[in-house]
Structure 1
Amino acid sequence: MIAKVIGCGGCGSNIVDYLSAQDLKQTEFCVIHANPQKIQEADPNITFVLNSLEEKQRKIFLKGIVCDASPCIIVCGLGGKSGGEFAREIVQAANTLGLKPHIIATTPFAFESEAKMHTAQVYINQLKQLGCKITLISNAEMTQDLYASLGLIGAFGAIHEAFYKIIREQINPITFQFP
């Protein structure tokens, strides 16, 4: 079993890019996109576009991704369509294998529409019903507090660092006793 971090959608992809440059030992990364153009910008070895797969094929594919994950961590934003939708599909696939993923997700920024806030809440409720652990990072709270002192790029960096700290605490490196 190996730790797996699965990024869903644009936010998840950005977080995986950041995390893969960190020192997370014994961790595999995977990104799932809805947008075929994103695959041109991403690492083709770990990035997949699922829109072309039929539902049955998607379920089999997602089970293959999560089957040996321990822990299975899903990172995404919940205000759009692909992050929350793919996270839900991955949790469903994991549940059929007896796995309970941990979702770490951002909620929309304060300036985003009520529709995005509503979408995020719908996904949160669906994911809770599936019985997975959810840790939410509020973009609205983080950016309001940090934007004035760090600027926009610094605020995004702080959000990436928040993901990293949460994930680092969950990944236990395998150690071997030497005689």
Structure 2
Amino acid sequence: MKKIMIIGVGGAGCNMANTFRREAKSDSIINATYVFADHRQPDIDYFQRVDDTTVYLNLYNIDLYNDLPEDFFKDVEKVYVLAGLGGHTGTAWTPVIAQFAKFSDVKYVSAIVTTPFVFEGEKHMAHALDGLSKIKELHLDLAIALNNEKLAKQYANINFANAFDYADKAVLAAIDENIKSER
């Protein structure tokens, strides 16, 4: 089985990664290594490997090229970087982490991101589009941007409380489909 690493970046990306752990049906995703990368990890200097399947990164302190162990991506064949664009952490760090994975000779690197809902404001959307253009410049193996607003229109009963959960499940479905298509 190919070793997969799922990296949740920022609050939205970490929430997506948690949804994956809860909702995943395929063994590839269930058995992936999950990396939770956020700037709100005050108890962690740079990174903390909890076990073979869970790693925490403190993006506030870390220099990816110097603070991660050389074998961080050892045996990893696929990396999925997950984030919600529009805020600061996901928008700034997603292209950096994806590029770092590419430089680390990971065979398959992708980014699956969401763009803001209308209620999040034009400033967040402009910031998200800037981040998305930086991701596209990397020429990743797969780059998917799910528009949260369009997703919300697909579901009649969606409300603020469950809107982000729908987006997370749509990202999971996209990755599941990607993994199935490669078999």
Instruction: Give the TM-score of the pair, scaled to structure 1.
Output: 0.79
- State which of 91, 96, 103 in structure 1 corresponds to 2:103: 96
Deviation at 1:168, TM superposition (A): 1.3
Contact 1:63/1:97 (CA < 8 Å) preserved in 2? Answer: no
Distance 1:63 1:54, change over 3 A: same
* Cα separation, 2, equivalents of 1:168 and 1:142: 18
Decide which structure has the larger Cα Rg and report it: 1
Give the aligned partner of residue 136 of structure 2: 128
RMSD: 2.7
Q: Percent identity?
A: 22
Give the aligned partner of residue 58 of structure 2: 49
Deviation at 1:13, TM superposition (A): 0.7
Equivalent runs, 1:1-179 vs 2, <5 Å: 1-21=2-22, 22-25=24-27, 26-36=31-41, 45=50, 46-54=55-63, 56-58=65-67, 61=68, 64-99=71-106, 100-132=108-140, 133-146=142-155, 148-171=156-179
Q: Which moved more, 1:96-105 or 1:48-57?
A: 48-57
Structure 1 or 2: more helix by fraction: 1
Deviation at 1:82, TM superposition (A): 0.7
Structure 1, unmatched stretches of 5+, are: none
Deviation at 1:171, TM superposition (A): 3.2
Contact 1:12/1:76 (CA < 8 Å) preserved in 2? Answer: yes
Secondary structure, counterpart of 2:66 in structure 1: helix
Deviation at 1:52, TM superposition (A): 1.6
Instruction: Give the TM-score of the pair, scaled to structure 2.
Output: 0.78
* Cα separation, 2, equivalents of 1:10 and 1:52: 17
- Structure 1 runs of 4+ aligned residues shifted over 4 Å read none
Deviation at 1:140, TM superposition (A): 1.4
Q: Report how many residues are paired.
A: 167
